[in-house]
Structure 1
Amino acid sequence: MIYQANTTHPQVHFSTECVGYGIEFFEKAFGAPVPIASGNQVWTIKTVFNALGLAGIFLFLVTFVLLMLKTSYFSVLRSEVTVQPVEIKDKTGHLWFWIPLVLVALFSGLCYMWVINNVYSISTRFFPQTGPLTIGTWSALCAVFTIIVLIVGYFVYSKKKDFSLADRGLTLSLKKIWRTIVLAVFAVSLAMLILFFADFFFDTDFRLWVLTLKAFEADKVILALRYLPFFLVYYIVNSVAVNCFNYNTIGGKNGWGNILLLAFFNILGPVAFIVIQYGTFIGTGFLKWYASEGHRISGIWLYPIVVYLFIAPILSRIVYKRTKNPYLFAIIFAIMITLIAVANTTTATGFVPAANY
């Protein structure tokens, strides 16, 4: 008995049609004392509330940080005034906004295939999960390229326009750095407390299709610390680029058009990869890249990443405007993404390539 839905592998896990096929199969194979129609499904209702919980966790992180800025200990992180966008008037300024965005987006998409070809299925005693290592390496390489672009832009254009690193929040005192780290760890710890509370008392978590925030064993914390540097460097550099260098009036003076533009370019490379990979599949019946396991899973891995890369600059901008601190929410987001990645990835045993589905 074969059911062949007109869908892709990851969509099977989020399809009432495919779930119905599964129910029909078991009903025909084993039967049930009281059969229920295959279309009588309630899991979608649970999924809606899971989605609310997932969104609630990230909203909690933002609101909790903003609330803590009112306390005496963390008030040193609060900006005296709301950070305003830099006004860009000259054509050169517009060019130095758009060209780097395009270059970084192109590098992101092209670099991803290189990482899939060269890093995927590598697992070692220190890095027993190839998924976070592959995505982490890609993230770090994108961060390095972004740093190069920012440095060139700073010396060629921004510095001549009296761009101040201190005024945009790139430099912090040791006191602020320490309290930034403390608040970031504190916020993530409370978010995890909410997650484990839901798991322990209600036997549920916050997962929506490929976006999965679930409880994990203690050993995953140690593993996460190994992969954290990859994601830290990416999200910190991304936040610096978004908030310190590109928070300007391009896209609108209120800032929302600007941040939506930046969020769009944040995901442009991965989205282009997905479109090419699955667009080819729709047109020909074959993925664009399918020769290896890494090629076949490459598009699937990008599904959740597109969502995270879109919301990361938006949430970091909200915190940055109140703190003039590009590092605070970047650290929070990096820790969250690392924990999510490690908790949802197969750990290799015997240090052989592991499938990460």
Structure 2
Amino acid sequence: MKRNGFWLVIALILALVSAIGASLVQTSAGAVTVKDLKWETASGRMMNALLFTPETATADSPAPAIVVSHGWWNNREMQSANYVELARRGYVVLSIDMYGHGNSDPLPADELMVGGTGMYDAVLLMADLPYVDADKIGITGHSNGARAANFSIPLDDAAAEQLIASVLLVDYDPIYTDAEGAYVNAYGTRDVGLIQAQYDEFFFRSYSPEGVPLTAPRDYLGTPNAQSFLHFGAAPDDIAGEVREQGTVYTESIDGTEAMRVIYSLPQTHPWTTISSTAVGHLVDFFDESLGAPEPIDSGNQLWQLKEFFTALGLIAFGILLVTVPRALLGTPAFRALATPAAPAVALSGRIPAIWFWGGMLVSALISGVSYIWLSQQAPVLGITFNAVPSIVPQGSVFFIALWAAINGLAAMMIMAGAYLAFAKKGGMSLRDSGVLPGWRAFFHGIGLALTTVVAVYAVVFVLDFLFKTDFRLWVIGVKWFSVDKIGLALFVLPLFLIYFVANSVAINAFNRFTIAGREWVNTAVLAAANSLAPLVLVIAQYSVFAVSGELIPGFGGIFSIWLFPVIVILAVTAIVSRKLYRATGNPYIAGFLNAAIVALVSVSNSLVITY
């Protein structure tokens, strides 16, 4: 208990250092004020956003302003690199949760374009701020955040006064043609730039009339679409063979206004752009050229990586708290009865147990990989996942991962049953002593410990967000505060996650806990790696093929490999948490419930809510 107390204190210190450090970076050591806004927009919906106001932006000296947006299935914190660098250069920055995302209102399936999915509503707010120069408002978004920017252009065109002066699209195609298919300058006199990933999983392809891809993303610059964009909407036949290049700013006088177009083409993938120093540098250069930075700083001078370091520390602290908090609670009168350490692990010996141990892991990994690809090709599931058909499922992406998890949980149960009947029962395995049958009292008592832990560790997240406006994250893995409605969303998918994480905890602890090479930690490391093996192999296969051929594996959509990035880490970490808690309690269900609840909350607070 003394050692656990030490690590509990270390985790709390790390969490505090994480919040203070991240706050110092995003506020430029106090030179930028950060506000968490929630307001009713012109579309009649509630929107949530982070507002960054440099101290140099005043009513007497209004500053250029930029609205930044995340992509589909993400939230405002995914723009961290951009808002940190723009704010420290003197821009007023608003990082939004698009409708349906984060803590903004859900998005109706039949109104995806409403208010530019929230982006144009955010522009209207910015234009009313007294310290914002309403003649210098820019917008930028990644992926579907860029689509929101495209949605905002016709809304701005239809307004009595145009507010958007500058547009930077990131990893999403510009508007090339009008409703009749003719090439057009849809952006008018606005400055427009594009950051394009040469290995983009979704965009920048040219297609035949039959829908067959003709060019890969890495060949985008030579396509008629790209050249028309750089020639301000001119038809390819009218360009007269002039091929414009990436990285060069092209200008043209339109209705007496000098406008610019530029494409930055980068050899990276779609999700990597959100954490690419090269992409951030181009973003800084573009807005400096277009709007003029109030506090010019060289684009290579970037500090957002320091914030990423601090928020990653918080993520590590969160993982440690998942172990140390429940173990500390075992010392309290409320949960002391659960403190029954598991029996020491025995050596893995005998041919049959070894076959079941190694073979079971390989079979489980195979089932995991095959079931994931199979599920990604099932039309009814895809209809729900991508909100293409009305359903009771509010978050299609979370439902997909939870359903896949449940399939693998059921498979694990069958493998365990086979192992028990084949050798464990004959070898004297006791289901009660191993914790498979802990008794109803211990079972429900363990659930109480798990739920208390969830409340306690998220209390740390909520308090630090309230004080410092920061969360715990690293790239695509984020633990953040959430609004009350997320609890209901988590309960919706919790049963599916429970099937997997409970079965996984029982398998790891009651059936596969051995010493290997005389060390139990080797066994834990092997099982943690096995948990993540299938997702890791699928990701490596997908991007190896993509790098060589320029296209994805046929039949394996890009979004499905992207969703596996956080899964790889989560499955390994939950295996370690499971083992640590089992050793302290001999009860595999505590970690099963804890992991399921945490993963459900993390998932629903970082995705999209669609209503019908």
> TM-score band (shorter)?
over 0.9
Is 1:12 the counterpart of 2:273? The answer is yes
Partner of 1:134: 400
Q: Deviations over 1:222-242 (max 9, x none)?
A: 111010011111011001110
Structure 1 Cα separation of the partners of residues 605 and 349 of structure 2: 47
**Corresponding residue to 2:371 among 84, 94, 111:** 111
**Corresponding residue to 1:147 among 397, 405, 413:** 413
Specify the SS of the correspondent of 2:265: coil
Specify the SS of the correspondent of 1:117: coil
Write the letter of the residue equivalent to 2:607: T
**Corresponding residue to 2:315 among 54, 77, 89:** 54
Specify the SS of the correspondent of 2:611: coil
Structure 2: stretches of 5+ with no match in the other structure: 1-261
**Corresponding residue to 2:462 among 179, 193, 196:** 196
The Cα of 1:117 is off from its aligned counterpart by 1.7
Q: Deviations over 1:62-96 (max 9, x none)?
A: 111111111222111111x4531123321121111
**Corresponding residue to 1:298 among 541, 560, 581:** 560
CA RMSD, aligned part only? 1.4
Write the letter of the residue equivalent to 2:356: W
Please list, as runs of the form range in 1=range in 2, the aligned pairs for 1:1-357 lying within 5 A after superposition.
1-79=262-340, 81-118=341-378, 119-122=381-384, 123=387, 124-249=390-515, 251-289=516-554, 295-350=557-612
Q: Deviations over 1:31-88 (max 9, x none)?
A: 2233211111111111111011111112112111111111222111111x45311233
Q: Deviations over 1:87-145 (max 9, x none)?
A: 33211211111111110100100100111122234045431111111000100000111
Specify the SS of the correspondent of 2:478: strand
The Cα of 1:29 is off from its aligned counterpart by 2.0
Structure 2 Cα separation of the partners of residues 215 and 121 of structure 1: 29
Structure 1 Cα separation of the partners of residues 419 and 444 of structure 2: 29
Partner of 1:354: none
CA contact (8 A) 1:136 1:230 kept: yes
Between 1 and 2, higher relative CO (CA 8 Å, sep ≥ 6) is seen in 1
The Cα of 1:214 is off from its aligned counterpart by 1.1
Specify the SS of the correspondent of 2:302: coil
Structure 2 Cα separation of the partners of residues 331 and 229 of structure 1: 10
Structure 1 Cα separation of the partners of residues 605 and 499 of structure 2: 20
Structure 2 Cα separation of the partners of residues 173 and 144 of structure 1: 22
Write the letter of the residue equivalent to 2:283: G
Specify the SS of the correspondent of 1:3: strand
CA contact (8 A) 1:223 1:342 kept: yes
Structure 2 Cα separation of the partners of residues 259 and 60 of structure 1: 19
Q: Deviations over 1:137-174 (max 9, x none)?
A: 10000011111111111101111111111111111222
Structure 2 Cα separation of the partners of residues 183 and 138 of structure 1: 27
CA contact (8 A) 1:188 1:335 kept: yes
Provide runs of 4+ in structure 1 moved above 4 Å: none
Structure 2 Cα separation of the partners of residues 16 and 269 of structure 1: 30
Structure 1: stretches of 5+ with no match in the other structure: 351-357
Give the TM-score normalised by the residue count of structure 1: 0.93
Number of matched residues? Answer: 345
The Cα of 1:4 is off from its aligned counterpart by 1.4
Q: Deviations over 1:230-260 (max 9, x none)?
A: 11110110011101000012x2322011011
Q: Deviations over 1:276-297 (max 9, x none)?
A: 11111111111114x6xx8120
